[in-house]
Amino acid sequence: MFLCPLLGIGIKKMLDKKSKEKIIKKFQTHPSDTGSSQVQIAILTAEIEELTEHLKKHKHDFSSRRGLLKKVAERRKLLKYLQKEDQNAFQELAIKLKLKIAKKMIQEEEEKAEKEKELEKMIKGENEEDSENE
């Protein structure tokens, strides 16, 4: 059993029912919420931390490594969805969970928005030139 630093709970080999309930209570958006993106991301984060600790001790456990990579990919998909749907909730969750990946996703989103603006300017510039030539 190790203490999860982000969530402040002790975690055994796998997340047990009590620790999942604590996570759900901490991150739920309304009293009956058990499956929102925020809750799912928080549970995945705890599982990822648990698997990371396991893999530090058992470096050749490749099936657990594969499971870890699947959980990381799933969490990233959920984070991307939450960022697209509710930017404020995404940023709050990223701060609560201290996610490094969230900072990177925010930067990528800003860069994408800048590129789109530049592209729009270029298109407008071309359209204006075409109008003047006619």
**Which among 111, 78, 108, 107 has a CA at the least distance from the CA of 93?**
78
Note the pLDDT of residue 54: 93
Architecture of 2-100 per CATH? Orthogonal Bundle (1.10)
With cut-offs at 50, 70 and 90, classify the pLDDT of residue 133: low
Its pTM stands at 0.72
pLDDT exceeds cutoff 90 at 1: no
Average pLDDT over residues 78-104: 89
In this model, does residue 130 exceed pLDDT 90? Answer: no
- Please report the pLDDT score of residue 44 as a whole number: 95
Alpha-carbon gap, residue 78 to 44, rounded angstroms: 10
What average pLDDT does the structure give for the chain?
85
- Tell me, letter by letter, the H, E, C secondary structure of 92-115: HHHHHHCCHHHHHHHHHHHHHHHH
pLDDT at 9: 52
